[in-house]
Structure 1
Amino acid sequence: MAAAATTFAVNSFAYADQPTPLRHAHAHNDYYHTRPLFDALDQGFGSVEADIFLVGDQLLVGHYQIELSSKRSLESLYLEPLKQRIETNGGSVYEKPGRFVLLVDVKTDGEKTYAVLEKVLAKYDDILSVTQDGKHEAKAVTVIISGNRAKQEIAESEPRYAGIDGRLSDLDSDAPADLLPLISDKWGSHFKWKGEGEMPADQKAKLREIVKKAHAKGRIVRFWATPEHPKVWSELNDAGVDLIGTDMLERLADFLNDKPLDSN
């Protein structure tokens, strides 16, 4: 378990501060944890994922509609606490500045949801990376939109507070990196290895080639539904995969902090 640290409370938002920042750690379906966002921050995660539904004029967080509650909005669970934390830390999510990704997975109609999301994000322009007049400014949090992506509407936004989550089919895209900052895809659609034995040489080479091509275009890489196995994490890490997703926050943090893990 990551070491505990001093706890602060800011405008009712309490969090444990100063873990070792782990920019490669991605909290898949982060909202399922006991303390959405904060459990990941306590472990030093550099990326969190929130699924959203447009309900009326609200952006509510959950994986299924039956889970939705007006008390669990994108703003209340993620944007407002991040803003408070960044203000306390003097401009960054952690005391040591570095990349922090908020991956927003849109579950409802892409165009209608983005029309509302765009207005919400503009309220947090002081903490969100932005592209305006052709110039990109990296700030404390980079928002990337996945799921039902309103690609044209996102690309035409001015200013633009979010990028698009690409797929392996976008590896050769000439879109600027701030518009297409991330390449994501399902692990099992491209790799059969699940962590048993050694990773086959051809799959290992394929993984490295994907990362190489993405990095050459200034993009980062993520796979979803990767096996929760230290051998898989090791291969992803060694290949330079930028975001390693997990539902097991403490276990991945221990791995990335180079702590011993059993093979179970």
Structure 2
Amino acid sequence: MFNEPQTALILGGTGRTGSLVAKMLTERGLSARTASRHGSDVLFDWDDTTTHADALAGVDRVYLVTPIMRVTYADQVAAFLDLAEATGVRHVTYLSTYNGDKAPQEVDIAAVETGLAHRQAITHSILRPAWVMQNFSDEHLPVIDGAITVPTGGGTETFVDAADIAAVAVETLLHPDAHAGAQYAPTGPQALTVSEVADIIASVSGRPVSHHDIDRDTWINGAVAAGVVPADYAVMLRWLTGAIVSGNGSTPNDDIEKVIGRPPTTFRDFAQRNVHAWNAPAEG
């Protein structure tokens, strides 16, 4: 089916995994076209369907990143995939979420997974990664006034490097037939509390860092009130944090090593590689 590789379309092409997927694919000899609203090879806007056909021209595989900061998008994705099928796409690798098949009904993560599985002309691979380590080095869970503020109830998560997620995605895009129907859950090698993450950041940066395990409702309501997330996204935050609080956060597995042939990155290695993120002037 894929004897003559063409071009992979990378949605979210400037994002944490998308930019890495594009770079790695190019290094491996497959043409990669990044697509997003700003800064990519082509303009792509989920809400402007006139941008979809140009993005898909000459493409035979897609790295699918759904609209961010919203919970309802299954119909938009289905329409895009209809067009993708019609224009020659034969494989889709979907960036889902850990336990995405068990997401709340109000969130369209599982609906997209199901929709992909029902398509006959397109093979697919599903990636359900744990929380990414980059959350701690960017604006998602920054160190502010010496603390990382997020509700976890002392629970653990196997934080995973976005580069490892991208490496798994690359294999599925380079060898779609070998990964058709695959469901991978990329995780880090260790289940860590956020307090343990804070200790590692402190040890590599030389800065005191602690975990402020805030009340979950206070944190979610504050994010909505501050305009950080839209009000309907609260259900997503409640689900994601609730898994950790209840002790049902992600657990280590061998999916990364099984697909790319090496163990996943440890949080300490990630922190040492990104120490500059915490050595910048403190916010607060």
Q: TM-score range by the shorter chain?
A: 0.3 to 0.5
Whose strand fraction is larger, Structure 1's or Structure 2's? 1
TM-score normalised per structure 1: 0.33
Whose helix fraction is larger, Structure 1's or Structure 2's? 2
